Structure 1
Amino acid sequence: MTHMQPLDETFPIGRQLAVKAAPVVLVNLFTLDPADEARFLEVWKDDADFMKRQPGFISTQLHRALGDNPTYLNYAIWESTETFQAAFSHPDFRAAITAYPSSAVARPHLFQKVGVAGICTA
């Protein structure tokens, strides 16, 4: 089972879900034991397949940190906090996360794009 810890202890994912925003980007930082890496990737793939079929899902990408210890960063784009919350709280997803290796720690956080004049758009 994946253990969840807040990326920001003052504003954990449960509080973020109460904020109506659209679109949103989920950033999830995973750490785990090297021996569990293959299992983690299998379970993450299954979760991603499930999420791709959910209303409001736009895209996802998984990144592995450089180095010997497996640290992964996943980002997923959703139409809104409401669509993400529906998928995140779906009973099938909640049951599926129990398949993650016990060493896996997830640190999810929701973000919104920010526009900076001359650099990027919101």
Structure 2
Amino acid sequence: MNTRKKTIIAAVTAAVLLCVAGCTAKAEQWRAQREAMQNSVVLINTFEVPQGKEAETLAAWQKSRDFLKTQPGYIGTRLHQNIDPNGKYHFVNVARWRSAEEFKAATAKMRQALPDNMPEGVTASPGLFKVIESDMQRGFGRRGGK
């Protein structure tokens, strides 16, 4: 076999081995993500906000989010704003945490670090939930389809 054929075979072999290694690593990453999602919890927190306190409430929520995203177990969050100005809940926060225990520990730390963070008159009603059924595709609701 000539040198050129040997070089091509070696290059193809190296490419196949890299692809297999990459695919194996990606499969392991997907498995770990799937396992984490199966054990995770969802925080759903509704906010009743007095008229004129929306901007202040948003700033307080952002401050809380910035603290919580540094804590173990935080996966991500989305804040939703009611499109009906007369709706009962002005904001709804939906966040995912790796576990209820990590969420509880993080929020306890947040209450110590940011006491009285919410504006006067704001009522928050948080609850932890576990997804038991879904027809949403992966990535549903991401901005810009990313």
TM category, shorter: 0.7 to 0.9
Secondary structure in 2 aligned to 1:75?
Answer: strand
Quote the sequence identity (%).
Answer: 35
Structure showing greater Rg? 2
Residue in structure 1 matched with residue 122 of structure 2 by the alignment: 104
Candidates 46, 66, 78, aligned match of 2:83: 66
Which has a greater percent of helix? 2
The runs of 4+ residues in structure 1 deviating greater than 4 Å are none
| Paired amino acid for 1:101 | P
**TM-score if structure 2 supplies the norm length?**
0.61
What is the RMSD computed on CA atoms of the aligned residues?
A: 2.0
- Cα distance between partner residues in 2 of 1:85 and 1:107: 15
Counterparts in 2 of 1:41-120, with a 5 A limit? 41-69=58-86, 71-90=90-109, 93-95=110-112, 96-115=114-133, 119=135
Shift of 1:22: 2.7
- Cα distance between partner residues in 2 of 1:60 and 1:29: 13
| Paired amino acid for 1:102 | E
Residue in structure 2 matched with residue 8 of structure 1 by the alignment: none
| Paired amino acid for 2:102 | T
| Paired amino acid for 1:87 | A
- Cα distance between partner residues in 1 of 2:105 and 2:72: 9
| Paired amino acid for 1:48 | R
| Paired amino acid for 1:100 | M
**TM-score if structure 1 supplies the norm length?**
0.72
Shift of 1:97: 4.5
1:39 equivalenced with 2:71 (yes/no): no
Figure out how many residues of one structure are paired with residues of the other and give that number. 97
Secondary structure in 1 aligned to 2:56?
Answer: helix
Secondary structure in 1 aligned to 2:52?
Answer: helix
- Cα distance between partner residues in 2 of 1:66 and 1:29: 14
